[in-house]
Structure 1
């Protein structure tokens, strides 16, 4: 599953977007970190490794509701034609 893991100080949330087994704890050992999300900036900053997210979803990983919304709202980087 691809979901958020909370890090940061009390009342200052910052999240990692992680690939983790569904039955593990929220901040348990993850398989891979595929991005970050900081809701405290204006606008909220989202950094995603889209190629790794596509890889894991092709292997059967499911997105959590929040990660799905972040992925849908994140700007798509234009691929540069070389």
Structure 2
């Protein structure tokens, strides 16, 4: 029986959630499985991966073939690296202690990378909030200034509007008076 380590889909449309399972390669995607190894939630940032490390390593050593996505997940969690180091120990290239120290170093560096990514995400989210807050306060200040201009000098605006209304009437009268004179001068020239 050929076994595969693959994902079994759960969750609603647009919000997938997966179980990492060991199943017969002939069974359907969401059908019968042999053993559940963990879960994978791609909806969070960074993705949440929970794997039973020992069970996954045991199945990989037994010959279960992971799918491409499960291979990436197992590699991310260090299962495949641990298998690689165990292969080196069996061949005599490494000792158990050297393999254990290499794996511990890898785990600590991986943990630092993940924490760094989480910190960067939190920092960028805080910066986005600060930018949005500054833009909102500027917009509120502009609104307040416009409202103050609109409401404060109400009496002065009325006086200015009356003066502006009288001035165009005077200009129109002057323009009307000039027009007949221009016509008379044009007739004299002709």
Q: TM-score range by the shorter chain?
A: 0.7 to 0.9
- The structure that is helix-richer by fraction is 2
Could you list the structure 1 runs, at least 4 aligned residues long, displaced by more than 4 angstroms after superposition. none
The structure with higher relative contact order (CA 8 Å, sep 6+) is 1
Aligned residues: 79
State the match for 2:48 in structure 1.
Answer: 45
- The structure that is strand-richer by fraction is 1
Structure whose alpha-carbon radius of gyration is higher: 2
Aligned CA-pair RMSD = 2.0
Query: Is 1:20 aligned with 2:23?
Result: yes
State the match for 2:182 in structure 1.
Answer: none
Contiguous gaps of at least 5 residues in structure 1: none
TM-score by length of 2: 0.39
Contiguous gaps of at least 5 residues in structure 2: 80-103, 105-190
TM-score by length of 1: 0.86
Within the candidate set 27, 34, 37, 1:34 is matched to: 37
1:12-66 deviations in Å (ceiling 9; x for gaps): 1000000000011000111111010000011110001110011112222111110
